[in-house]
A and B are shown apart, each in its own frame.
Chain A
Amino acid sequence: MRSYLLTTAAAAALALAMNTGASAAGWDGADDLPTSPLACDASAPAAPAAKPYDGGKAVNAPDKAGKEISVVDVPKLIGIGYFNATSKGIADAAKDLGNVKVKTDGPTEAKIDEQIKFIDNYITSGVDGILFAANDPVAIAPVLKKALSKGIHVVGYDANSTPDAREWFVNQAEFNGIAKAMMDSMAKEAGEDAAFGIVTSTFTTPNQARWIAEMQAYGAKCHPKMKWLETVEAQEDNVLSFNQATTLLNKYGDKIKGLFGMTSVATPAGAEAVTKAGLCGKVAEVGLATPNAMKPYVHSGCVKSVVLWNPIDLGYAAMYVMRAVVDGKLKAGDASVDAGKLGKLNVVNGSEILLGAPYIYSKDNIDKFDF
């Protein structure tokens, strides 16, 4: 009993001791790495190609420039909406190109050992190119290198391998691009002077920490009057995300005008919290999420923008990059590549192709996606 009271007392003491801790310079949940905020207007300048090409090379690949090629796409797993969408994009691109035979095949579970087996089988059966989204960046490297050594072209998308195990990787979104889309959406919906809170997974989760740091940098540059209130952790837990979002709404009352969801779990849970609190239209929920989870809130009008990339475009770009590599139109040192209806895409980070600005899902387009 005494220990119990002691604990309570200690908690109370802690409460008072830590109360001043929130006014630090960096937002909670941001990392300390250097940031590179994009320009405030829409013109995203091409990032300077500071890094030399660090991808691999297909050894003695037969010259099939302009000729029909057969390509296999091995995503992390098949049968889920997300990779159905990338697969559709790849097929669309093959149709637009007219000289590619492509098929998507892969494990039904996101397991690296299965994925390796699939790729190995296709190396044996003989293809001209392999597209992949890796279940594990390191574990997949040997089998991809084997493909390269047999003259098969290798291009990744969505989830990278170590750079030297493939030729190019189509990067769906860079941190500063996501950050810009998030902050711009929030400013548009909640106002240039809005105060907002953030629900993230944990303060140390790498991707989220990067996004938050870039959001802070971009916000300081382009939306200086917006006010960050607080970041709360919610793991990747549905109900905890809801509870934490609700707590923020209750804590700040009329002061809070916006909520960011930094994970695909936190965003729908935040939207639910805003809905249940009867604050739709008063508090803007903006975040990273997949369309299916957000459809109820987008349809009800409670959520206006869901930030992500478009997986159909991602697959489309990957196929065009593959064709360009085979045709010799994308070589080490090039600054951009032509990607059909997507236009010119920039080369970043040595051997990556940036898909472009993130995609904003809204009432008008969200029903076209099923993942």
Chain B
Amino acid sequence: MDVSLQILASGLTLGAMYAISTAGLALVFGAMKMLNMSHGAILALGGYLSYFALTGLGLPAPVGITFAVLVCAAVGVVIYHIVARPMLQSDNFETRIFIATIGVGVILESIILEAFGPQPKPQPVSVPGSLMWGGVYLPYQNLMILGVAVLIMAALGFALQKTRIGRAIRATAQNRDAAQLMGVRIGGVYALVLAISGGLAAVSGITISSLSSLLPNMGADPMLKAFIICVVAGLGSVPGSVIAALFIGVFEAVVQYIFGVRFSFALLLILVILVLIWRPHGVFGRVQGVRL
């Protein structure tokens, strides 16, 4: 029983971290058909900005986190205006933006390297201590990550389903031209989507670095996992990606315990292949039509 709880706790923590980093990626793809390869670098930027705000500027944690989220959201808006918008009408937008955002990611990572140096740094946003429950030690940090993930996903779901701007985002995702004819300002929606994605990446960077450390390339692994989760869920499906993230987190933890850590990634990839054979558009994906 102790071990099962320990594995479940580890899996849910992993899944929660994956969910936060995946949601932003799925949102942008769902709305714009844009696979933002700089998502990992924005994630790292968020972690570093939080570090800078707390240790460099001496700001309290809530203010520092808000600062990081706002700056990363602004980076998302800048990416839209400088990189995505000029390509929107071009042929093969999906391919071009894929390549272009790889470049953005490299630039952001280099800026982080120059600004903060290559040495790993501890993330100051952390909750020390742990809770003993059912014979298992649950660190408050892990519980906080789980709580933050639930809150953010609930807020995102509410915003997409129940608010005016959420409807505009979903309408744009369904049919850009029709949404435009209905008076939706497409440019504003896209900029907003990238801003939300940037903000989510910042939160993701802060939570991930609180369980590892800050490194300029820290976004690479979460980006890879987020991409895998998006593919499993169906590119563009936000609720699906959250469910897939939690499932994959628990799957990894179980495989690591039963078969060994080294098998977890390999078995994960086998799972992805099986899913894509079974449902080529992902578990929650659709061939056409509404996403988000």
A-B interaction:
no
B residues with a Cβ closer than 8 A to A are none
